[in-house]
Amino acid sequence: MLNHYRIATCDDEIYYQDELCNLLKTYENESGNKLDICRFSSGEKLLEQYEEAIFHILILDIEMGGLSGMETAKEIRKIDEDVIIIFATSFDNYALGAFEVNALNYLVKPVDYVKLKKVMSIATAAVDFKRDQISARKRYLEVRVKNTDVHVEIAKIKYIEKKRNASVIHTSDNEYACYEPLAQLHDRLDVNKFCYVHQGYIVNLDMIQEVGKTMIVLADYIEVPISRKYYKSIKERFMNRIYVKLQQQTS
């Protein structure tokens, strides 16, 4: 399997929904992608169970009793800006409305497999692009350095220190001085990996080699001060990480 996608279909006509799901299964087999398909018979039922990021792709029938597909899409857009929306319709005249809710495309019923395949290829590519963007945001910390946006690789950060009005990010191969407050940088990092050890220092737990009463030794024998306030919790977290690593090596 190449990738995994969660798809919701919403149509109040069972025949068309069955037909669409069969075509999606054909696409799944041909593409090698894994499709988890959830079926809904009305916009109201979809909205009842909807949560942000629960689905990657929605295929909504426009002409439904109760909430139309367009009305359903407008409600969904209030809570989920990223989900890919595709409309299914018996009429080829909904382009303007589709634009209003940032729909990717629409399918004319009865759905043609060649058209579905093309639309799904575009939709899955859009999902993959958004995944890559999210992954990049998790891998890099964007900071402003000398009026330039710089992407710092998070895994390479050893520690961050406060120097006068600046925050200096020390990595394995560079230093970056920015004017974003230390607390704000901390809020943008993974709290399970980055923590305060002193009022003016944040360290990457993965870089700690030794925890002393007044100093922490990081990779490359860099020493960073640790305050009494943080000593006990940092020591405990450091020892727990060593234990987990040893368990993984012996398992």
Look at residues 79, 84, 73, 88 and name the one whose alpha carbon lies nearest to residue 125. Answer: 84
- Given this model, what pLDDT does residue 94 score? 54
pLDDT in tens, 174-193: 999 999 999 999 999 988 88
Same-domain status, 9 and 133: yes
CB 224 within 8 A of CB 197: yes
Number of domains the chain is built from: 2
Asked whether residue 74 falls in the same domain as residue 47, the answer is yes
Is the same domain home to 131 and 185? no
- pLDDT (tens digit per residue) in 17-32: 999 999 999 999 999 8
Q: How many CB atoms lie within 10 A of CB 79?
A: 12
Query: What is the number of other CB atoms lying within 10 angstroms of the CB of residue 228?
Result: 9
Same structural domain, 98 and 183 = no
The whole-number pLDDT of residue 170 equals: 98
| pLDDT on residue 103 | 83
Question: For residue 34, what is the domain's CATH number?
Answer: 3.40.50.2300
Domain boundary among 104, 137, 170: 137
Task: Say whether both 108 and 16 belong to one domain.
Answer: yes
Domain-ending residue, one of 71, 106, 137: 137
User: Tell me, what's the pLDDT at 106?
Assistant: 85
* Residue-number span of the structural domain to which 184 is assigned: 146-250
Collect the ranges in the chain with pLDDT lower than 50.
Answer: 1, 96
pLDDT at 247: 66
Q: Are residues 164 and 212 in the same domain?
A: yes
Provide the pLDDT for residue 96: 47
The predicted structure's pLDDT at residue 204: 95
Beta carbons within 10 angstroms of residue 157's beta carbon: 23
Number of neighbouring beta carbons within 10 Å of residue 74: 14
Kind of pairing, strands 148-153 and 157-163? unpaired
Token reading at 156? 């390479």
12 and 96 fall within a common domain: yes
